[in-house]
Structure formats: C-alpha cells, structure tokens
Structure 1
C-alpha cells in the first residue's frame, strides 16, 4: 500500500506540471512564431493590407506586460498581506473594518477611471497602470489573508502559546503556514485578473500586450485584436496553472496534517 502511494505521488506531481508546460509552450509559440499563422489571420481580415501586428515584437511586449504585472503584484502582495496580518492582531483589530472597506474601494473604481484620474498626476506611461493594477488587485489578497488567518483554530493558537511560542513565532510557524493555501488563492486571483487588466495600459502609453488590441480597435483590424487577446489569454492560463502547481502541495500537506 505504501509503495503504491509513493509511486502515485510523483505521478500526480508530474501531471500537475502538464498544464503549465502545455500553456507555456503555446504562449512561447505565439510570441515567436505569430507570423506563421498569417493564413488564419488573413481569413479573419481578408481585405486588410497587413494582418500580423509588427510595430513591436511580441516577445518584447510580453516582457513589458510581465514587468508591469509583476511590479504591481509584488507591491500588492506585500501591502495586502501585511495589512491583513496587522488587523488580525489584537492591537490592530480596531482597523479591520477600515482595511476591508479600503480594499473593496479599489475595485469599485473601474481601471479605466483610475487611469483617467492618475494620468494628470503621474503622466503617461507605465506608472499609472501599475497604480491601477495595485488598487484593482488589492481586494482578493486582503480578503483571503483575513479569511485564512481568522480561520486558524483558536485551540491550535492556544496550544502554540502553551508550548512557549511568542505571538511572532505563532504567526510565523503556525498561523501563516495554515493560512497559506487561502492567501495564495487570493494572490492567484489578483494576478490572473491583472494580467488581463494590464492591457488597458496601452491606452496611456504603457506598451504591452494591449498594443495590438488597441491598434486593432483603432484601425478596425480584428486580426490584431485576436493576436493580442490570444497571447494575453495564454499568459493568464500559464500563470494560473503555475499557481495550481504551488497550491496543490500546500493543500496535500494540510490534509495530511
């Protein structure tokens, strides 16, 4: 029985990697060999003079897209998780409703409206879209951090305290590991949503995978729109499946515990 389980575990982990490898391969093909699909895009836009977007290489646009989403995700995770930890401590509990409302406020404003308000202050370019992504991606992270930490059984924390752990040690070695799957799910949601939302940056001069979409809309060329949307979708699927690979061992570990 134990042998069969030991064989099943590596096989299960290998299958988990199948999806990110598949989506990642398709993403790689889309950014380096988009021109090979010209007959397909010619079918979409038979009357267009040009059907392959070539104002910038797709791998360059992908890199810029990842940079914007990555910076926004890093700041949002640090701020969101830290805020969730602070307000679930005894000294910060009075601010819990305020933090929840502020995080929700970020998603009540459409990203387009945030960009319109940010551009006069921050100017055109990358910074406005980073600010918009931070505001838009904060809610899932804060909400899941609060949910994950608040769901840790009080008896477990009491036992940790009885063992001589300090509050900081209890947070580090007990609460955060138990809350990690829920927190990671919030980060996963935030990042996946922002991969699509980041395309709006092309409207304010932040060059990324939104460029073909905006150019296609302006010029009435649906082939451009499909190329940009397809690449963004493949990127989102790749990143989402990578998060699943990260989450599954955490879930299995907690189930075993």
Structure 2
C-alpha cells in the first residue's frame, strides 16, 4: 500500500512538473551556480518527454516482435537447429555498447532518431528473446500432455496453450527491455535525437546540476512507473493462466 501511495505521489509530481516546470524553480535553485537558470526552457520538457517515450515505445515494440518471432521459430521442430544463430543475432546488441552502435549508424543513417532507434532495438532483443524462449520451453508437463491428448495442432497449441502460459515470462522480458531502453535512450541526444538526454547534456556542458537533476528525475520516475506497470500486467497474466 505504501509503495502504491508513493508511486501515485511521484506520478502526480511528474505531471505537475511537466505541465508547469517553472513552478518548481525554487526546488532546483539551491543547486545552481552563478545565477544560472534553475529550469531548462530551451525545449519544453513535456515535448522532450513525449519524444523520448515515443522512441522507446517504437524500439521496444520492434524488439518484442522480432524476438517473439525468433523464439517461436527456434522452439518449433523445424527451427530448433537455428537456435545458436538466433542467440548470436539477439546478443549483438548486448555485445556492442549503444554508443558504438550510434557511431556506426550515424554515417549510414545520419543524425536524428534513426541511429537511436537502431541502438535501442538491438539492445532490447536479448531480454525478450531469452524470456520467451524460457516461457515456451518450460511448460508444465501435464498441460502439454493434455494439449496433445485433446488433438490440438502445433498452431493451436502455440496460440491457445504455449503463448498464454509463457505470457508472464514474456512480459518480464519486455519490462527489462523497456526500462533499459528508457535509460539508454538519453544518449540519443548526442546524435541529435529529441530525448531527455538533451537536458542532461545541457547541464553537463554548462555545469548546471539543476538541469542534470531534472532530466534524471523525469527518466527515473517514468522508469519506476513502467516497471510497476509491467509487474502488474505480469501478475494479471499469471492469475489468468492459474500460475498464482
């Protein structure tokens, strides 16, 4: 109960701050120096937040779709031999740091949101793929035997049994991907993507701690909201299939 109250309070504070950030100037003035502005006003914070979330949502959606397809393919009899290859593909993003992916993507795609989306997409594949793989391969034996006994086809088993049972674990992978992507997206501002990293970078360049705190605070609160939201979805999915 206490956690929910704190989360609700943080959400209301975030909304109020994004709607009228100048009303909270008094909160950040103590960490400014040399009469520097307490609130970042070059670009509206609500606009940067929406752009940041849009990039993250698009990247997570793309990562989830590709990871799900790969996991389903390699858990079918005809595709099991491609499991090592699928693991290599989904591990690429974790092998190369996002900064390196940005550096490689900029010469090809130019500055803007494109390189950031590529970096987030690659970085988000592995959690969803591995969790989907675990969910599809660790089915309760009694349920899988029951599905065979009912005469369900492979496709029917997948949609009516396997995926619903694996959904809580898949959502866990999506939660990890979303939270990681939310934080990683801040570096997109180094290649001119419109993210909350713009505020943090502006603070670092001008030695204005207030800006750094504002960008970090918004990202941090949203990360907690996303984390808690996915956890609730996981619990609902688990209850629906009788896992809790």
TM-score range, shorter chain: over 0.9
Q: Distance in 2 between matches of 1:152 and 1:220?
A: 53
Q: Distance in 1 between matches of 2:178 and 2:9?
A: 20
Q: TM-score, normalised by structure 1?
A: 0.89
Moved more, 116-125 or 45-54: 45-54
Paired residues of 2:36 and 2:208 also in contact (CA < 8 A):
no
Shift, 1:200, TM fit: 0.7
Q: Distance in 1 between matches of 2:208 and 2:186?
A: 17
Q: Distance in 2 between matches of 1:43 and 1:52?
A: 12
Which residue of the other structure, out of 203, 213, 217, is the alignment partner of 2:204?
A: 217
1:38 paired with 2:25, answer yes
3-state SS, counterpart of residue 42 of structure 2: coil
Paired residues of 1:140 and 1:187 also in contact (CA < 8 A):
yes
Paired residues of 1:144 and 1:183 also in contact (CA < 8 A):
yes
- RMSD, aligned α-carbons: 1.9
Shift, 1:33, TM fit: 2.6
Residue 9 of structure 1 corresponds to none
Q: Distance in 1 between matches of 2:10 and 2:24?
A: 17
3-state SS, counterpart of residue 86 of structure 2: helix
Gaps of 5+ in 2: none
1:128 paired with 2:115, answer yes
Q: TM-score, normalised by structure 2?
A: 0.94
4+ residue segments displaced more than 4 Å: 15-20
Aligned length: 244
Which residue of the other structure, out of 148, 161, 168, is the alignment partner of 1:181?
A: 168
Which residue of the other structure, out of 23, 29, 40, is the alignment partner of 1:53?
A: 40
Moved more, 45-54 or 143-152: 45-54
Residue 190 of structure 1 corresponds to 177
Residue 241 of structure 1 corresponds to 228
Q: Distance in 2 between matches of 1:180 and 1:237?
A: 21
| Residues 1:256 and 1:217: Cα distance change in structure 2 (over 3 Å) | closer
Moved more, 242-251 or 17-26: 17-26
Residue 203 of structure 1 corresponds to 190
Residue 83 of structure 1 corresponds to 70
Shift, 1:50, TM fit: 1.4
| Residues 1:151 and 1:77: Cα distance change in structure 2 (over 3 Å) | same
